[in-house]
């Protein structure tokens, strides 16, 4: 290579850069000449993070960074490559670029960087409607991840984000819900996601939680701050969705009836309307059981119908469904039309539900005190002896 090639290239890029960023290219050249690879990498990361660097990212990466790519942290190399890839002309060009980048870092010492690159390859393939090939990339990334004792959070975040995107495309709601929440656990939502992105993620998570036939406990989502994005900048068009989730959590059929007109706003909710009614009915059943003290959970079908507002002819099937899903444990006396419940699935409690527990604890405390006074009164001669 011509020894003047890199200095000449940096000079050209300096002249093309915004005036307030031109001095950074002198830093690049100085650090490159002194072989300060760590410092040069950090300078490049800082420059690429500047929005004004966008037009220059791709030529700087292809001509400058690749000339010393083997000498720098491979994870940061991929990070720079991902920022550069945003300037590719289309997804097909981006796929070629990222595939070459993944191949470059596919070495035993840099498997974390390889995973980081290959999941972004999978992300582009998803956008190109090549889901089967994307799944193979994600499975390969997951098999390598499983061999690590620890890995940078940014790698896990990228994997869970793209894995969630795949399951969303496949309409696999429970898997999407799980991976999307794992992704959120790996990032600071206030810095990694814009307000619009937070709202989109919260909306998609809420829809997945509601229409999934295996998610009956929304605790992780209800406690996550991302759900608050649905109520920001009022009047927010999606605020009803947050209210609907909390109605499901407390099994509030009356609130569901009020909010159900909004179901037509979303195609998935509209399609699953009958299932959603069954799901809220199950939530109403578990809430009815939860409100009762453990010694008073033998309930007639009529009592359950009255408390849940579910039709009497649907109660037996509803209880059987709850038992089969593991939401309740107990038995049914079909002749006497009585359900005896001895366990209810734990869930996140709202303030009113916590207050109900407080009242039950007070009742329990009073009953223990009354029992103590009774024993003391009846057996005082024994105590005296």
- Write the burial class of residue 33 (CB in 10 Å: 0-12 exposed, 13-18 middle, 19+ buried): exposed
Would you mind telling me the total number of residues written for the chain in this entry? Answer: 385
The single-letter DSSP state of residue 107 is S
Q: What are 231-236's contacts with CB under 8 Å, separation 24+?
A: 232/195, 232/199, 233/195, 236/199
Question: How many C-beta neighbours within 10 Å does residue 141 have?
Answer: 24
Give the pair of three-digit tokens for residue 242.
Answer: 């947050």
Report the half-sphere exposure of 309 (CA within 13 A, side-chain side): 12
- Write the burial class of residue 350 (CB in 10 Å: 0-12 exposed, 13-18 middle, 19+ buried): middle
CB 301 within 8 A of CB 315: yes
The single-letter DSSP state of residue 224 is S
Q: Helix 273-291 and helix 195-211: axis angle, to 10°?
A: 80
- Write the burial class of residue 145 (CB in 10 Å: 0-12 exposed, 13-18 middle, 19+ buried): middle
The per-residue pLDDT string of the chain (385 residues; one tens digit each, 9 = 90 and over) reads 577 899 999 999 999 999 999 999 999 999 999 999 999 999 999 999 999 999 999 999 999 999 999 999 999 999 999 999 999 999 999 999 999 999 999 999 999 999 999 999 999 999 999 999 999 999 999 999 999 988 999 999 999 999 999 999 999 999 999 999 999 999 999 999 999 999 999 999 999 999 999 999 988 999 999 999 999 877 789 999 999 999 999 899 999 999 999 999 999 999 999 999 999 999 999 988 988 887 788 999 999 998 888 888 889 999 999 999 999 999 999 889 999 999 988 876 666 667 766 776 777 677 788 877 777 777 666 555 4
- d(Cα 79, Cα 76) in Å, to the nearest integer? 5
Task: Quote the pLDDT of residue 379.
Answer: 67
Q: Please name which of 166, 236, 233, 240 lies closest in space to residue 207, comparing C-alpha atoms.
A: 240
- d(Cα 343, Cα 289) in Å, to the nearest integer? 9
Residues 6+ apart with CB under 8 A from 88: 58, 94, 97
């Amino acid at each position: 290579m011509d020894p003047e090639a890199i200095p000449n290239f940096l000079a050209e890029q300096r002249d093309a850069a915004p005036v307030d960023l031109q001095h950074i290219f002198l830093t690049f050249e100085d650090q490159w000449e002194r072989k300060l690879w760590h410092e040069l990498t950090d300078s490049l990361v800082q420059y690429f993070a500047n929005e004004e660097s966008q037009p220059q990212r791709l030529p700087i990466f292809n001509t400058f960074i690749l000339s010393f790519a083997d000498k720098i942290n491979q994870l940061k190399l991929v990070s720079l490559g991902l920022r550069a890839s945003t300037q590719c002309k289309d997804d097909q060009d981006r796929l070629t670029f990222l595939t070459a980048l993944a191949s470059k870092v596919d070495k035993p010492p840099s498997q974390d960087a390889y995973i980081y690159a290959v999941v972004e390859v999978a992300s582009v393939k998803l956008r190109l409607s090549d889901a089967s090939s994307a799944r193979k990339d994600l499975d390969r990334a997951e098999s390598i991840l499983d061999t690590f004792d620890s890995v940078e959070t940014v790698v896990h975040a990228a994997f869970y984000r793209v894995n969630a995107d795949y399951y969303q495309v496949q309409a696999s709601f429970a898997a999407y819900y799980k991976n999307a929440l794992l992704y959120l656990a790996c990032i600071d939502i206030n810095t990694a996601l814009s307000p619009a992105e937070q709202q989109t993620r919260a909306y998609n998570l809420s829809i997945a939680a509601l229409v999934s036939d295996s998610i009956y406990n929304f605790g992780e989502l209800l406690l996550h701050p991302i759900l608050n994005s649905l109520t920001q900048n009022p009047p927010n068009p999606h605020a009803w969705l947050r209210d609907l989730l909390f109605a499901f959590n407390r099994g509030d059929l009356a609130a569901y009836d009020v909010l159900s007109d909004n179901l037509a706003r979303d195609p998935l909710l509209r399609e699953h309307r009958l299932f959603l009614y069954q799901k809220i009915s199950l939530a109403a059943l578990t809430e009815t059981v939860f409100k009762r003290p453990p010694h008073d959970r033998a309930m007639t079908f009529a009592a359950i119908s009255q408390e849940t507002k579910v039709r009497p002819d649907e109660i037996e099937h509803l209880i059987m469904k709850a038992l089969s899903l593991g939401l309740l444990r107990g038995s049914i006396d079909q002749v006497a039309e009585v359900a005896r419940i001895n366990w209810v699935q734990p869930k996140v409690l709202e303030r009113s539900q916590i207050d109900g527990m407080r009242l039950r604890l007070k009742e329990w405390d009073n009953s223990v005190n009354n029992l103590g006074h009774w024993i003391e009164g009846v057996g005082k001669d024994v105590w005296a002896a």
